[in-house]
Amino acid sequence: GENVEQHPSTLSVQEGDSAVIKCTYSDSASNYFPWYKQELGKRPQLIIDIRSNVGEKKDQRIAVTLNKTAKHFSLHITETQPEDSAVYFCAASELTGGGNKLTFGTGTQLKVEL
Amino acid sequence: DAGITQSPRHKVTETGTPVTLRCHQTENHRYMYWYRQDPGHGLRLIHYSYGVKDTDKGEVSDGYSVSRSKTEDFLLTLESATSSQTSVYFCAISAPAGYEQYFGPGTRLTVT
């Protein structure tokens, strides 16, 4: 089955700096890569996703890049703000007609310091 | 937030007792999922459903069963709860187009 590794497990940045979180996956059949943000005590919230036919996707201060050859993808957050502090999870799956069985990384605790 | 509710939101139960968690959606989405979240493990898929009465196992299905008799409800049952099943349980839904998954508010289950 799929295995997703995520690094770093904790990340501390100064407000206004950029943050980068990296994930690797093992199954070359995976073609869907979402990122979730989870605040303490809350549900995971989908913030951005990318499919394997696209190398990069941006949404305001957030961007995701995908390298299919190396089987890794990354989340980039620019101009970080205190409200970006949360746990971020990457995930991977192979989209089929039978649903979307996500395999998650173990999470990155991002702390944005004033 | 997508129209997903979970009940109960918190539960404490004793080892060996049966427990049923409910996920209810108002989005009429075909696919529903149950995950558990534990420190150091992220979220792990327990079971999922691709239609009424159509379910399949996920990564960590041992000790769990599911049922889906209506599009809007997906039930997760622990037949005989164990302390290792202490966790936060999240339900998620997705529609075929796009495949984005949206999560419910979660149920915190403690097995003593």
Q: Between chains, do B43 and A34 touch, taking CB under 8 Å as contact? A: no
For residue B17, give Cα distances in angstroms to B13, B20, B91.
7, 10, 22
The pLDDT of B51-70, averaged and rounded, is 95
Q: Between chains, do A99 and B106 touch, taking CB under 8 Å as contact? A: no
The string of pLDDT tens digits covering residues A67-89 is: 999 999 999 999 999 999 999 99
Which one of B41, B48, B105 has the shortest CB-CB distance to A101?
A: B48
The predicted structure's pLDDT at residue B96: 72
Percent residues over pLDDT 90 in chain A: 88
Please report which confidence band the pLDDT of residue B1 belongs to, taking 50, 70 and 90 as the band edges.
Answer: low
Nearest-CA distance A63 → chain B (Å): 17
Beta strands in chain A (DSSP E): 4-7, 10-14, 19-25, 32-38, 45-51, 56-59, 62-67, 72-77, 86-92, 103-104, 108-113
Q: Which residue has the higher pLDDT, A99 or B20?
A: B20
Q: Between chains, do B94 and A100 touch, taking CB under 8 Å as contact? A: yes
Which one of A98, A102, A104 has the shortest CB-CB distance to B50?
A: A98
Amino acid identity of residue B89, one-letter, is Y
Best to test chain A binding among B35, B52, B99 (most A CBs inside 10 Å) = B99
Please report which confidence band the pLDDT of residue B98 belongs to, taking 50, 70 and 90 as the band edges.
Answer: low
For B20-74, the DSSP string reads EEEEEESS--SEEEEEEEETTTEEEEEEEEEETTEEEE-TT-TTEEEEEEETTEE
Q: Between chains, do B43 and A102 touch, taking CB under 8 Å as contact? A: yes
Strands A108-113 and A10-14: parallel
For residue B38, give Cα distances in angstroms to A49, A97, B53.
23, 29, 28
Please report which confidence band the pLDDT of residue A99 belongs to, taking 50, 70 and 90 as the band edges.
Answer: confident
